[in-house]
Amino acid sequence: MSISNTPKTATLDDAPLVSSVLARAFDDDPMMRSFFPDGATREADLSRYFTTIFTRQYVKHAVCEVTEKAAAFWVPPEAQAKAVPDGETIQELLNILGDRAELFRNTVETAAKHTPQEPHWYLALIGADPAAQGQGHGAALLRSGLAKADAAGLPAYLESSKPDNLPFYEHFGFSVRNELQLPDGGPVLWAMWREPRPTTAA
């Protein structure tokens, strides 16, 4: 049976797919492991975390796309003021994080200080099920979002705490703009930037 890696717009109905795919994708991510250190409960906790931010935040205000084995959340500049968690969402996230809530808050604040001020498309999240690696799911979602940024003539920005992912992003034109040491003994966060590329006229 073929597995489609063609991106489509995600809706609330895709929440189970989005949360399960991202929970598996981020299981070995250094930053997520600092937030959810218990290996026995990490996948379930990550699933709750991604369900919350997808259903309450990104699906409403961002460009969310999925394939059958991957998901990506992009925030265009006109949506960046809206695509932030409201009070209820923040409380729900803090409940999920438990005693790691303060670390989460400090990490978010540290990263926010380095967010570029010029208009850009922000790749908030992208992840593919590790079982589907090499099938082009992540690449398809990345190309789709970058095409939208290029069509708008705008750069793209992302952050990654997983060094193994840097060459993948560099392949698509990103370069490291900054290295941030996250607080409380957290991992390094690489801030990456990509200038827009001209689109081919039809």
Considering just the CA atoms, what is the radius of gyration of the chain in Å? 16
The pLDDT of 71-80, averaged and rounded, is 95
Domain ranges of the chain: 8-194
The pLDDT of 154-171, averaged and rounded, is 97
Does the pLDDT at position 84 exceed 90? no
**For 8-194, which CATH class?**
alpha beta
Taking alpha carbons only, the member of 142, 157, 169, 154 closest to residue 111 is 157
Does the pLDDT at position 56 exceed 60? yes
The pLDDT of 68-96, averaged and rounded, is 92
Does the pLDDT at position 202 exceed 50? no
**What is the pLDDT confidence band of residue 81, given thresholds at 50, 70 and 90?**
confident
Taking alpha carbons only, the member of 85, 155, 168 closest to residue 115 is 155
Does the pLDDT at position 53 exceed 90? yes
Return the pLDDT at 2. 53
What confidence tens digit (pLDDT) does each residue in 6-26 have?
999 999 999 999 999 999 999
Return the pLDDT at 45. 97
Q: How many CB atoms lie within 10 A of CB 188?
A: 14
Return the pLDDT at 1. 40
Does the pLDDT at position 181 exceed 70? yes
What confidence tens digit (pLDDT) does each residue in 93-115 have?
999 999 999 999 999 999 989 99
Return the pLDDT at 184. 86
Mean residue pLDDT of the chain comes to 94
The pLDDT of 35-57, averaged and rounded, is 96
Q: 55 vs 39, 51, 58, 67, CA distance in Å? A: 25, 6, 7, 17
Torsion of CA 139, 145, 149, 150, to 10 degrees: 40
Taking alpha carbons only, the member of 82, 162, 101 closest to residue 128 is 162
